[in-house]
Structure 1
Amino acid sequence: MRISRRAVAAATVLATVLPLSACGGGSDSDSSDASGDIKGKITFQTWNLQANFKDYFNGVIKDFEKEHPGTTVKWVDRPAEGYSESLSADAAGGTLPDVVNIAPDLVAPLAKAGLALDLDKDTTAASYRKEYLDGAWKSHQIPGLEGTYGFPWYLNTGPMFYNKRLLKDAGLDPENPPKTYDELFDQGLKIAEQTGGKVATLGQVPTIEDFGRYGAELMNKEGDAFTFNDAKGVAMLARYKELFDKKALDPQVLTATPETTGTKFLTEAIAMNPGNAHDLETFKKDAPSLYKNIGITDQITSTGKVNMYVMGVMVNSKTKEKPAAVAFAHYVTDPTRQMSFAKKVAIFPSTAGSLEDPYFNKEDGTDETRVRIAAAKSLKKAVNYTPVLFSEQMKTELRNNVAKALQGKQSPQAALDQAVEACNKLLKQS
Structure 2
Amino acid sequence: MPFSGKLAIRTAIGLGAVASLTALTACGSGGSDSSSSSSGKITGQISFQTWNLRAGYKDYFTGLIKDFEKQHPGAKVKWIDQPADNYAEKLSSDASAGTLPDVVNVSPDLSSPLAKAGVLLNLDKDPVAAKYKAQYTDAAWKGDAIPGQDGTYSFPWYLNTGPMFYNKTLFKQAGLDANKPPKTYDELFQDANKIATNSHGKIATLAGTPTIEDFGQYGVQLMSADGTKFTYNSAKGVQLLTQYKKLYDNGGLDSQALTSTPDQKGQKFKEQKVAMNPGSAYNLQDFKENAPSLYKNLGISNVPNNTGHQNMYVQSLGVSKTAKNKATAVAFAAFVTNQKNQEAFAHKVTVFPSTKGSLDKPYWSKEDGTDEGRVRVASAKQLKTAINYTPPVMTDEMKTVLQQEIAKCMQGKESPKQALDNAVAQSNKLLQQG
Report the TM range for the smaller structure's normalisation. Answer: over 0.9
Residue in structure 1 matching 2:19, options 12, 23, 27? 12
Question: Which residue does the alignment assign to 1:25?
Answer: 30
* One-letter amino acid of the counterpart of residue 28, structure 2: C
Q: Which runs of 5+ in 1 are unaligned?
A: none
Superposed, which structure 2 residues align to 1:292-311 within 5 Å? Answer: 292-311=296-315
Q: TM-score, normalised by structure 1?
A: 0.97
Q: Contact between 2:12 and 2:107, CA under 8 Å: does it hold in 1?
A: no
Superposed, which structure 2 residues align to 1:394-409 within 5 Å? Answer: 394-409=398-413
Structure 1 distance, partners of 2:237, 2:301, is 24
Q: Residue by residue, what CA displacement relative to the aligned partner does 1:216-248 show, whole Å, maximum 9, x if unpaired?
A: 110111211111011111111001000100111
Q: Contact between 2:9 and 2:53, CA under 8 Å: does it hold in 1?
A: no
Residue in structure 2 matching 1:341, options 342, 345, 348? 345
Residue in structure 2 matching 1:358, options 321, 338, 362? 362
Residue in structure 1 matching 2:249, options 245, 249, 253? 245
Structure 1 distance, partners of 2:131, 2:78, is 26
Question: Which residue does the alignment assign to 1:110?
Answer: 114
1:63 aligns with 2:67: yes
Structure 2 distance, partners of 1:92, 1:179, is 46
Q: Residue by residue, what CA displacement relative to the aligned partner does 1:168-193 show, whole Å, maximum 9, x if unpaired?
A: 11111111111111111111111111
Structure 2 distance, partners of 1:98, 1:315, is 6
Structure 2 distance, partners of 1:174, 1:224, is 44
Q: Which runs of 5+ in 2 are unaligned?
A: 1-7
Q: CA RMSD in A?
A: 1.2
Question: Which residue does the alignment assign to 1:417?
Answer: 421
Superposed, which structure 2 residues align to 1:258-277 within 5 Å? Answer: 258-277=262-281
Q: Residue by residue, what CA displacement relative to the aligned partner does 1:124-166 show, whole Å, maximum 9, x if unpaired?
A: 1100111100111112221111221000010000100000011
Please report how far the alpha carbon of residue 35 of structure 1 lies from its aligned counterpart in structure 2 after TM superposition: 4.7
1:94 aligns with 2:98: yes
* One-letter amino acid of the counterpart of residue 379, structure 1: L
Structure 2 distance, partners of 1:323, 1:417, is 46
Please report how far the alpha carbon of residue 353 of structure 1 lies from its aligned counterpart in structure 2 after TM superposition: 0.8
Please report how far the alpha carbon of residue 50 of structure 1 lies from its aligned counterpart in structure 2 after TM superposition: 0.9
1:197 aligns with 2:204: no
Q: Contact between 1:34 and 1:326, CA under 8 Å: does it hold in 2?
A: no
* One-letter amino acid of the counterpart of residue 24, structure 1: S
Q: Contact between 2:37 and 2:330, CA under 8 Å: does it hold in 1?
A: no
Q: Residue by residue, what CA displacement relative to the aligned partner does 1:63-104 show, whole Å, maximum 9, x if unpaired?
A: 001111021111111111100011011111111100000001
Question: Which residue does the alignment assign to 1:314?
Answer: 318
Q: Which is worse superposed, 132-141 or 204-213? A: 132-141
Alignment partner of 1:310: what SS?
Answer: strand
* One-letter amino acid of the counterpart of residue 146, structure 1: D
Question: Which residue does the alignment assign to 1:45?
Answer: 49
* One-letter amino acid of the counterpart of residue 194, structure 2: K
Question: Which residue does the alignment assign to 2:380?
Answer: 376
Please report how far the alpha carbon of residue 26 of structure 1 lies from its aligned counterpart in structure 2 after TM superposition: 2.9
Question: Which residue does the alignment assign to 1:386?
Answer: 390
Structure 1 distance, partners of 2:39, 2:287, is 50
Q: Which is worse superposed, 33-42 or 245-254? A: 33-42
Q: Contact between 1:26 and 1:113, CA under 8 Å: does it hold in 2?
A: no
Count of residues in correspondence between the two structures: 427
Please report how far the alpha carbon of residue 299 of structure 1 lies from its aligned counterpart in structure 2 after TM superposition: 1.1
Q: Contact between 1:7 and 1:81, CA under 8 Å: does it hold in 2?
A: no
Q: Residue by residue, what CA displacement relative to the aligned partner does 1:350-387 show, whole Å, maximum 9, x if unpaired?
A: 11111111111112211111111111111111110001
Question: Which residue does the alignment assign to 1:132?
Answer: 136
Please report how far the alpha carbon of residue 19 of structure 1 lies from its aligned counterpart in structure 2 after TM superposition: 7.4
Please report how far the alpha carbon of residue 334 of structure 1 lies from its aligned counterpart in structure 2 after TM superposition: 0.4
After the TM superposition, which segments of 4 or more aligned residues of structure 1 sit over 6 Å from their partners? none
* One-letter amino acid of the counterpart of residue 10, structure 1: A
Structure 2 distance, partners of 1:345, 1:299, is 22
Q: Contact between 2:189 and 2:247, CA under 8 Å: does it hold in 1?
A: yes
